[in-house]
Structure 1
Amino acid sequence: MSRAKRKIEHIHHALEHDRDYYNHFDDIDIVHQSLAKLNFDELSLSVEAGELKLSSPLFINAMTGGGGERTEQINGEIALAASETGIGMAVGSQMSALKDPAERNSYEIVRKNNPDGIIFANVGSEASVSQANEAIEMIEADGLQIHVNTLQELIMPEGDRNFKTRMENIQRIVEGVSQPVIVKEVGFGMSKESVECLWNLGVRYVDIGGRGGTNFSKVENLRREKPFSSFENWGIPTPISVLEAKSIHKDLHIIASGGIRHGVDGVKAMVLGGEAFGMAGTLLRVLLQDGRQALISEVEHILHEVKMALMLMNARSTKELHRQPYVLSGKTREWQEQRM
């Protein structure tokens, strides 16, 4: 099967499969502050995480590209919505365009439609330094995501099986590109052991990509004659993964993604230790079902939710969320008690 056809299948299956019935964000209760002290119009959503400066904590996370005209159209619409709302965005894996120049248009459209926005390039952990730099150049990216997706590759019929050089590749890319490098999971979460290993390689940004959103075990199993369904519940839920990552180093920059349904979930992720949060499948569904204006409206609604939550905690900015009190219950509390 061609990469382009596989990309289209991924979109279809990602939108159709059921999400987890249990969302670990429901295990988190933020402590409400009744006595408001701030002016809503003066609250700031801007984020400074090391070298990254974002207008808001929400960004549209990596989704697609490399699937011909259809993914070019999708990326173009996402880029226009990101430009209109002023939020950042990431493209899907550019490995297809690095191997087939005919697929470059499905990524280059992003910078064309969003000339001044924050855009993240994306390569696999098998990429060379030259490929990483080419991916950045392709879309004039402000940062680079390196996605790690071991379980997805193992279930994918045509996936990779040899990962012996991946850590060395990641270290070479971190040392060989000038833009910030974000190592990103794709829905299985990161343990504190994995994050510590990345820290020791020089990685300072992680997108923990936890379990709870698009389930690439299910996506790839839908493409198999005999699925490995026993792995469809594998991985670390997003809130737990944020807690695990936070325990490694105070200077580590954590991005949360995976199963974030709305602005309040995003705020919970930041209260736990994240500095920004990405949403993908939820926003893609809005775009494909209702169009770009609906996507713009949804993004604006989510950002308004974040500001409302700031007001209800007397937090002037997202940076102050890390100091806010919260209570854990359920499976998330059980995990924390055994692991932290």
Structure 2
Amino acid sequence: MSRAERKIDHIRHALSHSKSERSYFDDIDIVHQSLTAQNWEDLQLKTNVGELNLSSPLFVNAMTGGGGKKTEEINQSLAEAAKRTGIGMAVGSQMSAIKNKEERSTYEVVRKANPDGVIFANVGSEATLDQAKEAVDMIEANALQIHLNTLQELIMPEGDRDFRMRLKHIEAIVQGLHVPVIIKEVGYGVSKETANQLYDLGVRHIDVGGSGGTNFSKVENLRRNDPMISFENWGIPTPVSIVEVSKQVPDVHVIASGGIRNGLDGVKSLLLGADAFGMAGSLLKVMIEEGQEALVSKIEHIHREIKMAMMLLDIDHVKDFNGKPHVIRGDMKNWIDQR
């Protein structure tokens, strides 16, 4: 199977496989504040993630590209929706376009569709500094994501098995690139031990990419003749990972992703210490099944949910969610207590 065919295969399986009904976000209760003194029209969704200035804490997280005309159409529509709603967007791994120039248009379309938007480039941890620069230049990116997907690669029949150069590559890219570098997991979460390692390499932006959303173990198992079923529940839940990273390395800018279902889950992420949150599979599903207008409506609905929570917590800026009164219970409390 070619790399382009694999990209399409990933999209098809990601949209079709069932998500877990259990969410650790349900273990978080926000403490209601009755006496708001805010005006809806004055509420500010804009925020900063380090050097990145975002008009909203929500962005479209990395999904696709490199799968020929179909992924080009998907990326164009996602970018158009991001432009219309004023949110950022990350592309999927650009390694396919670095290795096959014919696939460049499937990523370049994002910048063409949204000339002034905030866009994140994306490469794997096997990428060299030169390849990282090529990915950034390809779409005139404002930042670069380096995705970590060890388990996905191990389950993937044609996946990588040698990660010995990973740390050296990450360190070289962080030191040599002129835009912020975001280390991103793809559904297995970032532990406090990993956060420490990344911090020592100079990393100051981490997308925890926890479990609870698209399960790439399941996606890759659907492509195997001998599925590795025992690893389908592997990973750190997103809200747990936010706490681990934000408490262990408070100087790091934390981005939440993985199983964020709505604006209130996003708010809970911000409350726990994240600076922004990304959504991918749930947005892609709306766009594929209902179209771009429905996706724009979905994003606007999420923005309304965020602003409602701001009113109910008596704050007028997104940054003020951090540390607001809340209660953690159940499995999430047990995990945090034991760690």
Give the TM-score, by structure 2 length: 0.99
In structure 1, distance between residues paired with 2:39 and 2:252: 31
SS class of match (1:89): strand
Partner of 1:50: 50
Counterpart residue identity of residue 3, structure 1: R
**AA partner of residue 179 (structure 1):** V
Q: For residues 254-275 of structure 1, give each alpha carbon's deviation from its aligned partner in whole angstroms, at most 9, with x where no partner exists.
A: 0000000000000000000001
TM-superposition CA deviations, 1:12-47 (whole Å, max 9, x none): 000111111210000000000011111111111111
User: Which residue is equivalent to 1:248?
Assistant: 248
Contact kept, 8 Å, 2:93 with 2:123, in 1: the verdict is yes
**1:138-217 equivalence runs, <5 A:** 138-217=138-217
> Which residue in 1 is equivalent to 2:337?
337
CA distance in 1, matches of 2:323, 2:266: 15
Instruction: Decide whether the 8 Å contact of 2:272 with 2:323 is kept in 1.
Output: no
Give the 5 Å matches for 1:214-293.
214-293=214-293
Tell me the SS of whatever aligns to 2:302.
Answer: helix
Q: Hey, what's the Cα distance between the residues in 1 that align with 2:168 and 2:308? A: 44
- 1:248 Cα offset (Å): 1.9
Between the aligned partners of 1:29 and 1:323, the Cα distance in structure 2 is 13
Matched residues in 2 for 1:257 and 1:271: separation?
Answer: 14
The 3-state SS of whatever aligns with 1:256 is: strand
CA distance in 1: counterparts of 2:44 and 2:323, whole angstroms: 16
Q: Equivalences for 1:20-31 in 2 at 5 Å? A: 20-31=20-31
What code does the residue aligned with 1:112 have? K
- Distance in 1 separating the partners of 2:49 and 2:128: 26
CA distance in structure 1 between the partners assigned to 2:158 and 2:320 by the alignment: 45
- C-alpha deviation, 1:323, in angstroms: 2.8
Deviations 1:190-238 (A, max 9, x none): 0000011000100000000000000000000000001000000000000
Three-state SS of the structure 1 residue aligned to 2:144 is strand
| In 2: Cα distance, 1:150 partner to 1:284 partner | 24
For 1:36 and 1:203, the matched residues in 2 are separated by 38
Q: Write the distance in 2 (CA, Å) between the matches of 1:261 and 1:337.
A: 25
CA distance in 2, matches of 1:297, 1:160: 39
Report the 3-state secondary structure (helix = DSSP H, G, I; strand = E; otherwise coil) of the residue aligned with 2:126. Answer: coil
Question: Counterparts of 2:259 and 2:191 in 1: how far apart (Å)?
Answer: 17
Query: Contact 2:195–2:249 at 8 Å: present in 1 too?
Result: no
| Deviation, structure 1 residue 293 | 0.6
Q: Which AA in structure 1 matches 2:126? A: E
Give the partner amino acid of 2:86: G
TM-score by length of 1: 0.99
After TM superposition, which residue ranges in structure 1, 4 or more long, deviate above 6 angstroms?
none
- Residues 208 and 256 of structure 2 are in contact (CA less than 8 Å); yes or no, is this contact kept in structure 1? yes
Q: Please list every run of 5 or more consecutive structure 1 residues that lacks an aligned counterpart in the other structure.
A: none
What is the CA–CA distance in structure 1 between the aligned matches of 2:327 and 2:94, rounded to whole Å?
Answer: 40
CA distance in 2, matches of 1:130, 1:168: 13
Separation of aligned partners in 1, 2:229 and 2:25: 24
Which deviates further from its counterpart, 72-81 or 248-257? 248-257
User: 1:328: how far off?
Assistant: 0.4
Instruction: Tell me the secondary structure at the aligned position of residue 194 of structure 1.
Output: helix
Aligned letter for 1:194? T
Higher mean C-alpha displacement, 90-99 vs 319-328 = 319-328
Equivalent AA in structure 2 for residue 338 of structure 1: Q
| Alignment RMSD | 0.6
The unaligned stretches of length 5 or more in structure 2 are: none
CA distance in 2, matches of 1:178, 1:248: 26
Amino acid at match of 1:94: Q
Question: Structure 1 CA distance, aligned partners of 2:276 and 2:48?
Answer: 10
Residues 208 and 255, structure 2, Cα contact 8 Å, conserved in 1: yes
Measured against aligned partners, the alpha-carbon deviations of 1:165-197 in whole angstroms (never above 9, x if no partner) come to 101110000011000000000000000000110
* Alignment partner, residue 126 of structure 2: 126
